[in-house]
Amino acid sequence: MESTLEVTPEQLQPNAGLGTRWIKQAVWFAVLLGICYAPIGQRLIQQWMNDEDMGHGFFVPVIAVYIAWQKRDELAATVLKPSNLGLLLILLGAVQALVGTLGAELFISRTAIIVSIVGCVLFLGGIPALKVLGFPLFLLCFMVPIPSIIYNQITFPLQLLASRVAEVVLGGVGIPVVRDGNILELPSQKLSVVEACSGIRSLLSLTFLSLVYGFFFDRKPWMKWALFVATVPIAIAANASRVTMTGVLSEINPELARGAYHTAEGWIVYVVDLAILVGVHAGINWIYNRRKGAKTANV
């Protein structure tokens, strides 16, 4: 007698049911966290709306959740090991949020959200779940503004660097310029390289975008981190170029250094940043493929 053996989807993917239950539990935890951290989240969203440096904040949780959803099959195929250490992290997040709220320390209270989310993942799926979801969890860090004490330490050196580069280039093209700190004295007017022109805005959004771009457009795990590192010199150089271009345009027409013209100039520089990032990606891949081909030929 012949017998047939049916293979069910559950047998092909033994942890599929567990993964589905895990996702449902994660949704419940997400709802509870949303309720508990609603006041902190509301003030964070308000800063995204009013702070131009954090305009990318709206996209961070959306993209992080989308990437986590893309990893659902990998999560379903992973042997999950719930850990009670996650409860300690959740408790730590709650204490951190309380301390930050009572002390009016925004960074502490806002990062408590991330700590609690990591704690939920650890509690529900253990270290294996953290390994699968580590990248989207890391992306959440980009939704929290940098503390003012660190922000000021970063922006002022960037302002000075941009003004120094502009001084050298403007002098090189024959435009008389005198620099006093972050102030550029030109024949037509005085230009001040303020915090908004330090490059920190493009640096924050570009580093986030580089990680997302690397995830979606390259399968090599290390590529997104290589692009992440590359964005730092790209953003700094592009911003110095923007300040220099502003100085040149102001000598043609002072109005070109103000208002809508100056804003449009910033967008153009940012698009150039993205183009350079794509070019760097192509260049790294070219070098990688050549070295890989050379190793194959020598075998």
**Residue 278 CB coordination number (10 Å):** 13
Q: How many helices (H) and strands (E) would you count in the chain?
A: 11, 3
Q: Looking at the chain, how many residues does it have?
A: 299
The amino acid that residue 68 corresponds to is A
Q: How confident is the model at residue 42 (pLDDT cuts 50, 70, 90)?
A: very high
Q: What is the DSSP letter of 71?
A: T
Token pair for 139? 């992306």
Q: Report yes or no: 205 and 235 within 8 Å, Cβ to Cβ.
A: no
- Cα–Cα distance between 208 and 215 in angstroms, integer? 11
- Cα–Cα distance between 22 and 109 in angstroms, integer? 27
pLDDT digit string, tens, across residues 161-202? 888 888 888 888 787 878 877 777 777 777 776 655 556 777
Scanning 84-105, the segments in alpha helix (DSSP H) are: 85-102
- Cα–Cα distance between 100 and 37 in angstroms, integer? 12
For residue 18, pLDDT over 80 is answered with no
Our CA angle for 112, 114, 119, nearest 5°, is 95
Nearest to 240 by CA among 273, 207, 211: 273
- Cα–Cα distance between 70 and 211 in angstroms, integer? 15
Say which residues have a Cβ less than 8 Å from residue 108's Cβ, sequence separation at least 6: 96, 97, 99, 100
Q: Is 229 helix (H, G, I), strand (E, B) or coil?
A: helix
pTM to 2 decimal places: 0.81
Average pLDDT, the chain: 82
- Cα–Cα distance between 146 and 53 in angstroms, integer? 10
Beta strands in 145-196 (DSSP E): 178-180, 183-185, 190-192
- Cα–Cα distance between 36 and 113 in angstroms, integer? 10
What pLDDT is stored for residue 90 in this prediction?
Answer: 93
pLDDT digit string, tens, across residues 207-217? 999 999 999 99
More confident residue, 29 or 262: 29
Beta bridge partners of 192: 183
Q: Is 63 helix (H, G, I), strand (E, B) or coil?
A: helix
Say which residues have a Cβ less than 8 Å from residue 269's Cβ, sequence separation at least 6: 202, 238, 239, 241, 242, 245
Lowest average pLDDT, out of 94-108, 131-145, 177-191, goes to 177-191
